[in-house]
Amino acid sequence: MNGWIILDKPVGLGSTQAVGAVKRVCREAGLGKVKVGHGGTLDPLASGVLPIALGEATKLCGRMLDASKIYDFTVQFGTETAGLDVEGEVVATSDVRPAAADIAAVLPRFTGPIEQVPPAYSAIKIDGKRAYDLARRGEEVEMKARCVTIHALDLHAAPDGPLASATLTAHVSKGTYIRSLARDIARAVGSVGHVTMLRRVKAGPFDLSQAISLDKLNAFGQGAAQSEIILPLEAGLVDIPALNLSPEAAGAIRQGRVWTGESTYDGLYWGRDSEMRPVALIEALAGTLKVVRGFNL
């Protein structure tokens, strides 16, 4: 069993719990023990696209973690919380409620490469301990700024006048904290704020159109068709070009050997055999093909 289940994760469910649910459903469907992993943690308070890899697709989880993501999120102005979301005590207040034009005016400051201070309530390790564990114990947590990239940042349509809240869409690089982005936008307009809604609408090549609900996932365990639930392994490779391999080249690549004499542009490919089965992620350089990650299919 090799491929992807794209879950529309509901609020309240952790990523590890989602992986556990997939393992359970696979057992119920009679698939036996299946290797399962997720392609990017999604906080319990967030919903949306959670790619879950099965079998050989788990070899692509690292690549999925590095992929850019798109989020819709709502910032409520006037209160900043310790967790920068709906959990945690209020740590700052403001009477300022910005207009849509005020928000739009500051967004260019947060587009492109920026430096961002992660939330204290995050999984980042400080001296070997998770920051959120230290913060929950009331310890002072000093978070260091990190460089991230905001590829695009757009404000949803909003009424005229002061806004109690605003919804935005952000296309961001790995390592970006939307809660920090919301905090910094609120401060830039002279207020404070926290996130009240966070929904991931795209992760790497996967979006909500491919995502299934928990109910549909559970239906798989009760006999629903596999084709309605599981996407093929190559669905996680659509953002890189495919390279058709000769039987000789495919055989060499499967054995992990370097293949020479291939006429193609330099770069990353996924190689496929004559039956269109993925063989490996391949790096092409000066006519030489080298295995980056092989698939046992």
User: pLDDT digits over 23-42, tens only?
Assistant: 999 989 888 888 999 988 88
Q: Is 17 in contact with 43 (CB distance < 8 Å)?
A: no
Can you give the length of the chain in residues?
297
Reply yes or no on whether the pLDDT at 130 is more than 80.
Answer: no
43 is catalytic: yes
pTM of the model: 0.91
C-alpha distances in angstroms, 257 versus 59, 246, 263, 288, 297? 19, 14, 17, 11, 17
Residue 79, Cβ density class (10 Å: 0-12 exposed, 13-18 middle, ≥19 buried): middle
Which residues of 173-216 form beta strands (DSSP E)? 193-203, 206-207
pLDDT in tens, 182-232: 999 999 999 999 999 999 999 999 999 999 999 999 998 888 888 889 999
**Which pLDDT does position 118 carry in this prediction?**
85
Reply yes or no on whether the pLDDT at 126 is more than 80.
Answer: no
Residue 72 has phi, psi (to 5 degrees) of -100, 140
Task: Give the pair of three-digit tokens for residue 285.
Answer: 């350089």
